[in-house]
Amino acid sequence: MRIESLLIFMLAMPITAFAEVSIQEFKLNNGLKLVVQEDHRSPVVVSQVWYRAGSIDEVNGKTGVAHVLEHMMFKGTKTVPAGQFSRLIAAAGGKENAFTSADYTCYFQQLEKSNLSLAFKLEADRMVNLNLTKKEFEKEIKVVMEERRWRTDDKPQSMVNEAFHGAVYRAHPYARPVIGFMNDLENMTYEDAREWYNHWYAPNNATIVVVGDVKAQEVYQLAKQYFGKLKPKVLPARKPQLEPAQIGERRVVVKAPAKQSYLLMGYHVPSLKDVNQDWEPYALEVLAGVLSGNSAARLNQKLVRETQLAVDVSAGYDLLSRGRLSLFALDGTPSDGKTVADLEAGLLQQIERIKESGVTVEELDRVKAGVIAADVYQRDSMFYQAMQIGTVETIGFPWKILNDYPQKLRAVTPEQVQAVAKKYLLKDNLTIATLDPQPIDPNAKPQGKPHVH
């Protein structure tokens, strides 16, 4: 998965968005957390169930099991046959799906508001009554392997991304792909999926986020009706997982059939830990914006337009992570006649200029203004409002930090941006992955095919 900034979510929201809307949170006796945001502009509701379980919680030999279980959650319960979950939602005029990341797994529905009870009923049922059979597992694991072939083995840049994370992390589980390694998928059993389900799928390991034309107290009563009777579980102990300090530059080369070369490079940097004291994550966020946050940003201006070193180039940083660590990443595709070495030199030159000369107030103002300007495009999306709340809560922070984000960003100074560049963007803290394109067989066919629930 490409590194994405919280800024992508936050740019979708106006400065005062979370101050103006009505958000209430509740806690059921079994530990389930409920966050409801009332939005009465249209008779629609988005319901999301977030489990605090992702690939970060997996162990060697069972990579990909979080994602496999996500697939199995659509295979029925004692009362809802396999495939019927999706049919019931569709029959109600709704849309549904799910996704797995390193930090969490989320299941969501978008429905006409009167059908929220249907979503709650179905989600509560499969939270505890999943009918996880060997027969269904053996069919679905083949689908997941096809998905891995389609998403990774057939995509040269995805192969580079996987190799990059394996090199940049030596001890931390973020080194492992969310989709899982093929060997682990080939040897996975339905007992592995059942173990994962029994360990992590429980009301006291879940957060429900509801955004839409609803009343918070009514949603709370509905949650108590469907989820309140579910029993909590004793969750496995989550042991600290620290990544040792990097003490030298690392490089990895991937050779694969491709039309163009590709470069991905990244530095270890901190993520948000103390919401009251931390300023470095916000400075890193602004630094990413200065480099590639808009068409006037440095990388696009210098490396794409002026020197034509790259066809495309970007920088990214994720302020939030359950692992409490992150990467400051840069990537790009060299222009015809240019090499990854040329592009690497160009990127490093831009980094050094910021370390030596800093950034301008105008650049910072442009990045900060984007927080308000981009609201025009996504301010009406209930789904993304729910995504923001669910992500923050499941990562381990209160949703209220969303209120503070724009102000924290506005407070970043040019000196702070220069300081984090000097502190973290160092050669001995750098990992570089490159794609060495090999000849493409014109008769070659894709190894996998896309998956749809």
Catalytic residues: 70
Instruction: Give the residues across from 312 on adjacent strands.
Output: 333
Instruction: Give the residues across from 310 on adjacent strands.
Output: 334
**321 with 241: CB under 8 angstroms?**
no
Element (DSSP H or E) covering residue 161: helix 156-168
- Distance between start and end Cα atoms, the chain: 20
d(CA 115, CA 92): 7
As given in the structure block, the two tokens for residue 196 are 């994962």
Is beta strand 206-212 parallel, antiparallel or unpaired with respect to 33-38?
parallel
**385 with 211: CB under 8 angstroms?**
yes
d(CA 214, CA 221): 12
d(CA 359, CA 356): 10
Half-sphere exposure of 221 (CA within 13 A, CB side): 5
Show Cβ contacts of residue 2 under 8 Å, excluding neighbours closer than 6 positions.
Answer: 161, 316
Half-sphere exposure of 438 (CA within 13 A, CB side): 7
d(CA 233, CA 199): 8
Of 385, 362, 337, which is closest to residue 209 (Cα–Cα)?
Answer: 385
d(CA 204, CA 235): 8
Q: What is the DSSP secondary structure assignment for residue 77, as one 8-state letter?
A: B
d(CA 392, CA 385): 11
Of 77, 60, 58, 78, which is closest to residue 68 (Cα–Cα)?
Answer: 58
d(CA 215, CA 91): 24
